[in-house]
Amino acid sequence: MDQLFQAQNNLKEYNDKISLLLGQIDIIKEAEEQQQEILKSNEALTGEIDELRFKLSQKEKEINSVRQQQELTAEMKSGLESAYLEFNGLQEKFRNWKTRYPVPAN
């Protein structure tokens, strides 16, 4: 009878240990599933980061292009202003020359 009682206690202990191990296995499975979800999320975020970096690079190129256009526009404006001032100066000199040296009418 003692052996039966002892066997029953041993079986109960083994059953408790097995239940504990099964619970730990469930916890590990949940942790693995969470890790897999985290890895998938990380992959998605990495893809989004790569896409955003590409878009940022494109925008930086556009900004550089606009800056170059602005510089060119400023240079052209300055050149046109200089040409306009020079033209007006020459036009004034020509008027003065015409008044000093009138062309005789035929």
Local structure of residue 101 (DSSP, 8 states): S
Structure tokens at 85: 């001032």
Q: Give per-residue pLDDT as tens, 71-101.
A: 999 999 999 999 999 999 999 999 999 888 8
- The three-class DSSP label of residue 106 is coil
Q: Give per-residue pLDDT as tens, 4-29.
A: 889 899 999 999 999 999 999 999 99
Predicted TM-score (pTM) of the model is 0.59
